[in-house]
Amino acid sequence: MSYQGTTFTLNTGAKIPGIGFGTWQDKEAQEDAVYEAIKAGYRHIDTARVYGTESGVAAGVKKAGVPREELFIVTKLWNNAHHPDDVEKQLDASLKDLNTDYVDLYLMHWPSAFARSDELFPKEGDKTKTGDTDYVDTWHAMEKMQQKGKAKAIGVSNFSKSELERLLSKANTKPAAHQMEMHPYLAQKSFSDFHKENDIHITHYSPFGNQNAIYSSGQDIGKLIDDPVLVEVGKKYGKNGAQVALAWGLAKGHTVIPKSKTPARIKANLEGDFKLDAEDVAKVDGVDKKLRFNDPSGTFGWKFYSDLEGKQ
């Protein structure tokens, strides 16, 4: 097996596996998918309150029978629970569904609050009802969750540079990680450098770019994993384009969290953990199209990524 088991170190001192397993979509398939993933060798699972996959993850973990301390489990606070009085309640619900006392990393899924509600998507007419909780106040409530030991580390997701700078200026605890859309078609070099300078670890979501069928804006161009440059680079190592996209992320010092419900792909994606030569990293750098596929600005009532690369 060519899986190297790459890990990185967070600013908390904890290790985070370089390849994690995504669990957004295909809710019913996740118990089996997570079981397959752990059996194949994944030790990092990514979920979120809004995915509805936390209990499927727990069932897959249980079936795999790996001790809790060998796993790195990530979940995310959803936008309906940004109010400081709601954060612990939602984390407790996640922990219950995940059948664990703690998560290794707890992320604020988006900077944008919805109205306080038991509904994940509170409505005002046919629009999402937005809230006015400042993400800085939400962050302070998350800091308390880390102090209580319910989250070993805390971080953010989908923040712009100015939002992150503002958070850094007010935080008592610096985010350990930032999970964001990043792949060879959206490389965001300077934003990536900014994280290195601030010792904030990056996780690439949608590491295969427009492979996720939900991304309508990515349907009329060729798939990232079929890009001739990635395919050609892969030939040198006996790897496919998908594996090259993952290895490229690892070469940047980032974590990647591919999702698949297909056992053969689950195994193959783990073999994306291999070392790309510098010249090949540079070739893959060259395919950047500054294309972003995930932007819910229209539905969440928030202008996301305002200072970042990626066509809006």
For ligand NDP, the binding residues (CB under 6 A) are 22-24, 46, 109, 157-158, 179, 205-208, 211-213, 225, 242, 257-262, 265, 268-269, 294
Closest contact distance (angstroms) between CB of 309 and ligand NDP is 17
Q: Which is nearer to ligand NDP, 200 or 257 (CB)?
A: 257
Closest contact distance (angstroms) between CB of 110 and ligand NDP is 7
In three-state secondary structure terms, 73 is strand
Q: Which is nearer to ligand NDP, 131 or 184 (CB)?
A: 184
Active site residue 135: no
The count of other CB atoms within 10 Å of the CB of residue 1 is: 10
Q: Which is nearer to ligand NDP, 112 or 158 (CB)?
A: 158
Closest contact distance (angstroms) between CB of 155 and ligand NDP is 10
In three-state secondary structure terms, 210 is helix
- Per DSSP, the residues of 91-131 read HHHHHHHHTSS-BSEEEES-SPPBPS-SSSS-EETTEE-B-
Q: Which is nearer to ligand NDP, 116 or 265 (CB)?
A: 265
Exposed/middle/buried for 301, CB within 10 Å: 0-12, 13-18, 19+?
A: middle
Cβ density class 28-43: b for 16+ within 10 Å, e for less: ebbbbbbbbbbbbbbb
In this structure, are strands 15-17 and 123-124 parallel, antiparallel, or unpaired? unpaired
Closest contact distance (angstroms) between CB of 271 and ligand NDP is 10
Using CA atoms, how far apart are residues 243 and 226, in angstroms rounded to an integer?
11
Largest CA distance in the chain: 55
Catalytic residue selected from 42, 51, 135, 205? 51
Closest contact distance (angstroms) between CB of 131 and ligand NDP is 18
- The residue sitting closest to ligand NDP, measured at its beta carbon, is 22
The count of other CB atoms within 10 Å of the CB of residue 57 is: 29
In three-state secondary structure terms, 8 is strand
Q: Which is nearer to ligand NDP, 131 or 234 (CB)?
A: 234
Q: Which is nearer to ligand NDP, 152 or 265 (CB)?
A: 265
Q: Which of 133, 48, 121 is nearest to 91 (CA)?
A: 48
Q: Which helix (H) or strand (E) holds 39?
A: helix 30-40
Closest contact distance (angstroms) between CB of 268 and ligand NDP is 5
Q: Which residues contact 216 (CB under 8 A, 6 or more apart)?
A: none
Q: Which residues are catalytic?
A: 51
